[in-house]
Structure 1
Amino acid sequence: MKQAIQILEFNKIKQTVDSLCACSLGQKRVEYLSPSIDEKQVEYSLNQSDEALKIILALGEAPLGGVTDITEAIKRAKISAMLSAQELLGISRLLYAVSQLKTFSERLNEIKVDAPIFSSQVNSLVSLNSLQTAINDCIDETGYILDSASSELRSIRRSIQSTEARIKEKLNHVVSERRNKLTNGIVTIRNERYVVPVRAEAKNTFGGTVHDQSSSGNTYFIEPKEVVDLNNKLQEYHVEERREIERILRALTEEVKKFVDALAVNVEVLGEIDFMFAKGKYARLINGTRPKMNTKGIIRLVAARHPLIDQKVVVPNDIELGDEYTTIVITGPNTGGKTVTLKTVGLLTLMAQAGLLIPAHETSQLAIFDHVFADIGDEQSIEQSLSTFSSHMTNIVRIMERLTVNSLILFDELGAGTDPKEGASLAISILDYVKVRGARTIATSHYPELKAYAYENDDVINASVEFNIETLSPTYRLLVGVPGRSNAFEISKRLGLKEAILTTARAYVETERTEMTDLITKLEDRGLELDHEIQLLQKQNQEVEAMRLDYERKIAKFEAERERVLEDIKKEAFENIRQAKEEAEQIVADLRQAKKMADLSIKDHELTEKLTSLKKSEAKQAEQFKRKARNKAPLKAGDEVMVLSLNRQGELIEKTKNGDWMVQLGMMKVNIKEEDLEYLRQSVKKKDSGKGKMIHKRNTNVGIQLDLRGERYEDAMLRLDKYMDEVLLAGYQTVTIIHGHGTGALRQGVHKYLKKNKHVASFRFGGAGEGGTGATVVELK
């Protein structure tokens, strides 16, 4: 696939992923990023990218800042080669990242984000808190060895400070007494010894040791004899300081040596985590989704976009290949859209096999191919030389020799660069050869003969790139099933060419070709109509499916709540009965005991009280059961009732055949048994006074979902504002806003709007089956 990787510009994708890595550890893995033909590896890599995107959208990026590659430091520590302060600091920062990642993983668990791959990676990280503490106790964030690293170092540095103070004191005295021999009164250091600047003419009479001279020769830096002994002592302290620092670094190196294996594991895992999140960040950047993968050679791309074209201008396209037909022939004039289609299919295939999410709808499907071949060159020039044809043919020969049944082949302007008749025949022959061997092929061509070839073969289909005659420009929308046509006459007419010239030109065109052109025109027009109808049906199906899922969820929730309430009622009833039975048994036991003991002194009123207590207990249970399911008046349609098991008010619609009542509960209509209903009041209907009062009717055409994906930010906000007004008039309680993942800007805009809307009670991300973090569920007041 090396040639295809280069031609399809896969390396540009890698460069972007590389730039999104937090450290060099992840960048090393991006360097080896390439398409795989191993199904398990592809699935794992895609799951890894998808999981990273989910984590980023839920909690943000993984805390990997400041991590550096400590591989060389580990190798040096293993052989007891003393590590520098900076190398040790790098180890400390890596261990800090380990602890931060473990905390990050715990937060994911708290918010119930399922991330098995990331969790497994974090669990394999080794926390070395003792080593991190040992390094941090000795070295600060700049790599400076702290005084607290050892008592000996602290003592030496105090001696240094004391000696330096005495030297400065003596030198200040010298400066004060001999100022006339100095160029200025500033004490400085030369050769690690304190000196003063002496005029050139006074250097022989000043007294002391010369250590340096200015570039002009006017100043000599002299160490006065008064501080020679102190400077010597200071040098001795500095030597002791360096020795102590070296001892500390060697001790820390030996401590690192104990954990070299664990550190090596951490380096490996952190590199994989960094790589994983770089892929997730790239997916967010291109609004990528995880395609379903197969090994059957089936490609089904929905709203696919080329990732290297500006997302604001790129046109999404639907492309299918490998199921009903194995070859697509894209015909028509050069507009740029045909080549973009080829590159989109090829590049997205390479990306998916490399474990990267693709810029397409989440229902998209791609195949794992053994080989991806591409013969794509710059064929947009007017003149095509023999060398161009030879170059393409050499490449095609190489492809023919290596293709397999599980190959994807992309031909751009197949057969171009030679005589049109010969080129068309050659192109058809090549397509036949590839098709017989079972490979999947997409080819572009100018030749009308290839349009007929597609019509004559069931496993080959025509396609073209839509051209807008009004604007004289391509729309870059792929029309599958519709062959391309030449727009030369239409374009010339709109540009002002005389009709007489056009009439003559049309007369020169062969009748057969004219009929073919007319047929293509009719097919294209009909195809556009069908495409529009399909889009409308798809949109309606999506709305219906969304409503179905919403109702199923609400019904399931209702049933679960109903079962829970009934279970609570049963438990309460059993408990009351148990208590009543115990009271009754106690009363009977008291009576029997009294009788047995012949206690004639028992008073009548005491016996009466016990019997009354028993009756009250029985009456209490009866009243409780009546209160759980009773009607105060005969029920009729329109009455407002209380559903006892749900503790919710509703309105009676009608009585069903089996004796239950259909009850309107908010947006839902639910069948409820009559004994579970309690009459509240008659429904009060507002009458129209006829004096100009406005009655708002529900807009039954508004859906319970609003899909904003693909909209510009400003347009999306306008649509959202209009939609919220409509759902409020419709009386909906719950709606869903689909904003997708993308860069997160649209999601943030939606949430910002909802926070400010006074009619919104609350909102949340969608759950399983509700669109996840790509959708927001809104509860209205």
Structure 2
Amino acid sequence: MRDKLIKQLDLTGYIERFEGLLARPKPLFIEGDRSLHFRFIRALEEVEFKAPPKVRDCKDMWMRLGKQAVLGLEEIYEVVKIVRYFMYLKNLRIENVLGEWLAQIEIPAPIVDLSKMFDAKGNLEEHVDERLASLKAAKRQNREAIRQTLSRMLNSAKLSPYLVDRQIHYVNDEEALLVRGGFNHVMKATVIGRTTAGFFYVIPESIAKLKEKEAGIVSRLEEVYYDIAKKTSRMLGEWLKFLKFIDAAFDRFDHYQARMQMARLEDLNFVMPDRGEAIRLADFAHPALSHPRPVSIDFTKDVLMITGVNAGGKTMLLKSILAAAWLSKYLLPMKCDAKKTYIGSFKKIEAIIEDPQNVRNDISTFAGRMREFSRLFSQSHVLVGVDEIELGTDSDEAASLFKVMIEELVKRHVKIVITTHHKRLAAMMAGNERVELVAAVYDEKNQVPTYTFLQGIIGKSYAFETAERYGVPRNIVQKARVEYGEDKERLNELIERSSTLERELHEKRRQLEHRIEALEREKARYKELNDTLESELYAKKRELEAIYAEATKQVRMALKAKDEKSIHRQLNRAHKTVQKAKIEAPKRLESFAVGDRVKYRKNRGTIIALKAKEATIEVEGIKMRVPLSELKRSGNPPKAPKKKTVSVTLERSKATAGVKLDLHGLRAEEAIEKLDKFISDALLAGFDEVLVYHGIGTRKLAHAVRTFLKEHPSVKGFHDAPPHMGGFGATVVEL
């Protein structure tokens, strides 16, 4: 049944390629927790590994070991291959859920020792048994003796007249010489064959004796091999449970690695079956198509009815939906946008596609279809695909019958994909909220199918247009149009008009989505640019703070100086320090967009991606990431409305800011006004400490000054000046 569905869905080639990646044949289904298997497969994405060796099915070996049978050395080597591969995997030190699973597999010491008994080609190492080394050495010496003996004979002057050629011939795996009649006068030999030309294949008597000796050596070797196999089989029988466990683990990993290799080789993605029965495909490509047009379809309802143009891909859409669900069910990779694809879980997937007519069973097309449908009423949670649903009977009668049958199957949780050319059934089902209509789109202008689909409408079959396209005379097609009837043709026109409006709406929506995507990219780019500028601003602020800290330090040193010259000298130094704090306006980057032609140094290319301060451009097929500041437009720049620029200039006060203010003799109002301006100038100059003289007198002026300072937002604090700077008659203000 599985093979039949694979053939119906055109997945035979895909499955053959997949099974070629397995270490040994096995069912496609992985027994156990599917979500856990999915995690293991995804964990394998992070690992670079070599494929497992090809191994034979070991179930018969385990059964014979259980009966204390002796395995052959070639069978024992199959066990060694499995053990060695797990030792290799464990040495990879994988750090994820897969690594945790491998770490739990502890290989017993006797099994590890077994893996050291064979070389990479499956031959026993000589250290396994001391007899092996001597017997193999004897065999090699005997072979060399045979070679040298034959060589002497071929170069013998006595035998030369009887030799047909100077080659060693192999007859039934026996070394022989090709000689003429009369050879027995110079050499004793046994004839083992004869040519049509009358020549003889012979084995010299000396060679026969050496071969007899070799046979004795081989016999003794076989005895040693049997002894080793017997001892090893006894040991394997003691570890039979472990061998069955690691054999099952090997099959499990084989499932994972073959799927991962398939995904890597063909650039495929995995989609885990989810709860529910909804199906949403995004850019799915059927594996059987060499140049597929990706399919995106929303099949969240219970029934999907596909109508429209002949040869427009309706059947392939049906097969694509069923194939995607089947691949997901078996955790096999597929070509799709995995992030946007959603596939529900189904107990079974069935395809009613082929014509069931069978002369041998005396069954008609429609009767066969009814038999296939009757089986569905006893099932639930099944995904079914039905191609050409009204096949084999009157379409009007079939429409009523199938409408009732479909509605009943839906109640039994059967999800159905249907293709049909007949609009009656589609029209009858259109009002059902559980039914989704999809139409294959036809290009009226070029009169060809587009192999694309629109949801929500009934498609016209374009039978007349297809007939004309494939060479049916136009006058015959015109007669058919008349017979078809004007009222039905008007219905087709309405269907086509609806399809056209739907296509236009679809195209506008697609363009709008592209614009939204472009705006989102631009928004992300400006956010990145804003973050970059904020970082630069923060760094510049720290730099300015350091400069102003140095300047104010020099000012404080000036305040502490006793003579006027020293004060002016320190103030001049502070002024020079402040001059270093120049803020340059950032370079305005020219506005570019993806697709713009640009010049970078001597290269001309096209922008294919943009970031805040860099762009990716393509130059003669080579992609480069370059700074935006080094790009220039190549060709005509895009027209854009001129934008008004606003510049802000900060000018320093022409009046020189001082660090001392004398308020003697002023009324309180005048003093406060002068003090306010003095503090503002000091703040602009970057001073963090100034001195205000107000005298002692009646203390009114001092009180007014200190009241003002308490309320000033930029004043951090104030206190009486030291005795040498005015004492109680002056106040030191901290800004």
- 2-structure distance, mates of 1:155, 1:103: 36
Quote the offset at 1:464 in angstroms: 0.8
- 2-structure distance, mates of 1:315, 1:167: 67
Q: Which residue of 2 aligns with 1:334?
A: 310
- 2-structure distance, mates of 1:139, 1:397: 59
Corresponding letter in the other structure for 2:133:
R
- 2-structure distance, mates of 1:161, 1:291: 58
- What pairs up with 1:442-457 in 2 under 5 angstroms? 442-457=417-432
Q: Which residue of 1 aligns with 2:19?
A: 18
Residue 352 (1) aligns with residue 350 (2): no
- 1:124·1:269 contact (CA, 8 Å) conserved in 2? no
Q: Which residue of 2 aligns with 1:289?
A: 269
Q: Which residue of 2 aligns with 1:95?
A: 83
Quote the offset at 1:473 in angstroms: 1.8
Pick one of 275, 285, 305 that aligns with 1:305: 285
Structure 1 portions without partners, runs of 5+: 110-114, 380-384, 566-622, 634-677, 687-694, 704-719, 738-748, 762-781
Q: What does the per-residue CA deviation read over 1:39-79, in whole Å, with 9 as the maximum and x for residues that have no partner?
A: x8443444444444x24xxx545441355555555555565
- 1-structure distance, mates of 2:296, 2:170: 75
Quote the offset at 1:696 in angstroms: 7.4
Q: Which residue of 2 aligns with 1:617?
A: none
**Which structure ranks higher in relative contact order (CA pairs < 8 Å, sequence separation ≥ 6)?**
1
Residue 316 of structure 2 aligns to a residue whose secondary structure is helix
- What pairs up with 1:87-166 in 2 under 5 angstroms? 87-104=75-92, 106=93, 108-109=94-95, 115-116=96-97, 118-127=98-107, 131=111, 136=116, 139-156=118-135
Quote the offset at 1:433 in angstroms: 3.1
Quote the offset at 1:479 in angstroms: 0.9
Count of matched residue pairs = 583
- 1:332·1:446 contact (CA, 8 Å) conserved in 2? yes
Q: Structure 1 residues 286 and 232 mapped into 2: Cα distance closer, same or farther (>3 Å)?
A: closer
Residue 318 (1) aligns with residue 322 (2): no
Q: What does the per-residue CA deviation read over 1:231-274, in whole Å, with 9 as the maximum and x for residues that have no partner?
A: 98777666555444444444444554554443333222122112
- 2-structure distance, mates of 1:219, 1:503: 84
- 2-structure distance, mates of 1:731, 1:169: 80
Quote the offset at 1:176 in angstroms: 9.8
Corresponding letter in the other structure for 1:429:
V
Pick one of 468, 474, 490 that aligns with 2:449: 474
Quote the offset at 1:11 in angstroms: 5.4
Q: What does the per-residue CA deviation read over 1:6-43, in whole Å, with 9 as the maximum and x for residues that have no partner?
A: 6335555433321222x11xx2143x56xx9xxx8443
- 2-structure distance, mates of 1:443, 1:231: 74
Quote the offset at 1:392 in angstroms: 1.9
Q: Structure 1 residues 306 and 632 mapped into 2: Cα distance closer, same or farther (>3 Å)?
A: farther
- 1-structure distance, mates of 2:35, 2:508: 36
Q: Structure 1 residues 73 and 543 mapped into 2: Cα distance closer, same or farther (>3 Å)?
A: farther
- What pairs up with 1:27-426 in 2 under 5 angstroms? 27-30=25-28, 32=29, 41-52=33-44, 54-55=45-46, 59-65=47-53, 67-73=55-61, 81-104=69-92, 106=93, 108-109=94-95, 115-116=96-97, 118-127=98-107, 131=111, 136=116, 139-156=118-135, 179=158, 183=162, 203=184, 212-215=191-194, 221=203, 223=205, 240-284=220-264, 287-291=267-271, 293-310=273-290, 312=291, 314-322=292-300, 325-362=301-338, 363-377=340-354, 387-399=364-376, 401-404=377-380, 406-426=381-401
- What pairs up with 1:590-669 in 2 under 5 angstroms? 627=546
TM-score normalized by structure 1? 0.60
Q: Which residue of 1 aligns with 2:503?
A: 528
Q: Which residue of 2 aligns with 1:652?
A: none
Quote the offset at 1:290 in angstroms: 3.5
Indicate the larger mover: 435-444 or 539-548.
539-548
Residue 244 of structure 2 aligns to a residue whose secondary structure is helix
Pick one of 583, 599, 605 that aligns with 1:682: 583
Corresponding letter in the other structure for 2:606:
K
Quote the offset at 1:535 in angstroms: 1.8
Q: Which residue of 1 aligns with 2:591?
A: 698
- 1:465·1:477 contact (CA, 8 Å) conserved in 2? yes
Corresponding letter in the other structure for 1:86:
E
- 2-structure distance, mates of 1:543, 1:321: 28
- 1:101·1:122 contact (CA, 8 Å) conserved in 2? yes
- 1:182·1:197 contact (CA, 8 Å) conserved in 2? no
- 1-structure distance, mates of 2:206, 2:536: 95
Pick one of 371, 395, 405 that aligns with 1:430: 405
- 2-structure distance, mates of 1:333, 1:434: 27
- 2-structure distance, mates of 1:249, 1:501: 81
Corresponding letter in the other structure for 1:267:
D
Corresponding letter in the other structure for 2:158:
R
Name which one, 1 or 2, has greater alpha-carbon Rg. Answer: 2
Structure 2 portions without partners, runs of 5+: 357-361, 553-578, 597-603, 629-735
Instruction: Among all aligned residue pairs of Structure 1 and Structure 2, give the percentage whose two residues are the same amino acid.
Output: 17
Quote the offset at 1:460 in angstroms: 2.6
Corresponding letter in the other structure for 2:349:
V
Residue 723 (1) aligns with residue 617 (2): no
Residue 521 of structure 1 aligns to a residue whose secondary structure is helix
Corresponding letter in the other structure for 2:19:
D
- 1-structure distance, mates of 2:86, 2:201: 56
- 1-structure distance, mates of 2:289, 2:249: 34
Residue 308 of structure 1 aligns to a residue whose secondary structure is coil
Q: Which residue of 2 aligns with 1:538?
A: 513
Q: Structure 1 residues 202 and 421 mapped into 2: Cα distance closer, same or farther (>3 Å)?
A: closer
Corresponding letter in the other structure for 2:344:
A
- 2-structure distance, mates of 1:235, 1:369: 63
- 1:197·1:221 contact (CA, 8 Å) conserved in 2? no
Quote the offset at 1:528 in angstroms: 0.7
- 2-structure distance, mates of 1:477, 1:552: 37
Quote the offset at 1:467 in angstroms: 0.8
- 2:5·2:351 contact (CA, 8 Å) conserved in 1? yes
Q: Which residue of 1 aligns with 2:636?
A: none
- 1-structure distance, mates of 2:250, 2:349: 32
Q: What does the per-residue CA deviation read over 1:531-579, in whole Å, with 9 as the maximum and x for residues that have no partner?
A: 112223333444555677788899999999999x9xxxxxxxxxxxxxx
Q: What does the per-residue CA deviation read over 1:626-653, in whole Å, with 9 as the maximum and x for residues that have no partner?
A: 64996979xxxxxxxxxxxxxxxxxxxx
Quote the offset at 1:520 in angstroms: 2.0
- 1:493·1:499 contact (CA, 8 Å) conserved in 2? no
Residue 528 of structure 1 aligns to a residue whose secondary structure is helix
Quote the offset at 1:139 in angstroms: 4.2
Corresponding letter in the other structure for 1:372:
I
Corresponding letter in the other structure for 1:402:
S
How big is the alpha-carbon RMSD for the aligned residues of Structure 1 and Structure 2? 5.4
Quote the offset at 1:175 in angstroms: 10
- 1-structure distance, mates of 2:507, 2:54: 53
Corresponding letter in the other structure for 2:626:
H
